[in-house]
Amino acid sequence: MDKVVENTLKGLTFFSVLKKDELVAVEKHCRWRTFAPHQQIIDRNSSSRDVFFVISGKVRIVNYPYFGRGIILNELSAGSYFGELSAIDSQPRAARVIFIVTSLIASLPQKYFLDTLEARPKMALQVMTHLSSFLHGATQRIMDLSTLGANNRVHADLLRQTGEITDEMKTATLDPVPIHNDIVSQISTTRETVAQVMNDMARRGIVKKMGNTLLVNDVQRLRDMVEEV
């Protein structure tokens, strides 16, 4: 039996500093909608200014050049939020957002979002930290595209997906197995290149597919392959 998801912001880290009555007040200003897989909620250059909170499900943030395939900028799961850039600077949307799975979304109008940040400095700091993290990630992607060949960009993206790495870390499990087309969109290469690199790493024992998961057998070796370049 499917789990019933309530129309509530309770449990989202972003609102953890609010008291119960304050949270209820914010919820009253939200619009609640359920979206199907592949459905779009906002498009690039659109004029909406709401901020969206993922109550359940998963969304993908994509940008499209004038020609060619879309570039995946990020994927967000339950507890995340998006749309804050346009709410802050009132500029058109910078990317398109589509749903990967059935998702429940709460949208908060720009005015109430900004009023909440102004009244709660800790929440404003959360937004600044979030944007800073995104900027660091974008900077790293620019560096990868500028300094790494296509094969090494596959290595770097796989390493990124393993999460935070320590010197003692030996293996990592990616669940589900990374989809080749998603990697292509992340690092701007071809499906053939991704398949070739993944097959080569499998032959060398660096990765191994196990059902619907991908086992990285030697995280340190994968990290060395990226850092050497």
Could you tell me if 62 and 120 lie in one domain?
Answer: yes
Please say if the pLDDT value at position 2 is more than 90: no
Split into its structural domains, the chain has a count of 2
Domain boundary among 128, 145, 162: 145
User: What average pLDDT does the segment 64-76 reach?
Assistant: 75
The number of beta carbons lying within 10 Å of the beta carbon of residue 147 is 11
Could you tell me if 40 and 112 lie in one domain?
Answer: yes
Could you tell me if 123 and 163 lie in one domain?
Answer: no
**Contact predicate 113/66, CB 8 Å:** no
**Torsion angle defined by CA atoms of residues 87, 88, 94 and 96, in that order, rounded to the nearest 10 degrees:** -30
Q: Of 56, 211, 41, 26, give the one whose Cα is nearest residue 116.
A: 26
pLDDT at position 68 is: 61
Please say if the pLDDT value at position 1 is more than 50: no
Rounded to whole angstroms, the Cα distance separating 163 from 64 reads: 26
Q: What is the pLDDT of residues 176-204, one digit of tens each?
A: 888 898 888 788 888 899 999 999 999 99
| pLDDT category of residue 104 using cuts at 50, 70 and 90 | very high
pTM of the model: 0.73
8 domain residue, yes or no: no
Stretch (H or E) spanning 74: strand 71-77
CATH number (domain holding residue 194): 1.10.10.10
| pLDDT category of residue 82 using cuts at 50, 70 and 90 | very high
Could you tell me if 59 and 137 lie in one domain?
Answer: yes
pLDDT at position 97 is: 95
Stretch (H or E) spanning 97: strand 96-99
CATH number (domain holding residue 41): 2.60.120.10
Find the domain containing 119 and state its range. Answer: 13-145
What percentage of the chain has pLDDT greater than the value 70?
A: 95
108 domain residue, yes or no: yes
Could you tell me if 154 and 213 lie in one domain?
Answer: yes
Adjacent-strand bridge partners of 208: 215
Q: Of 28, 49, 53, give the one whose Cα is nearest residue 103.
A: 53
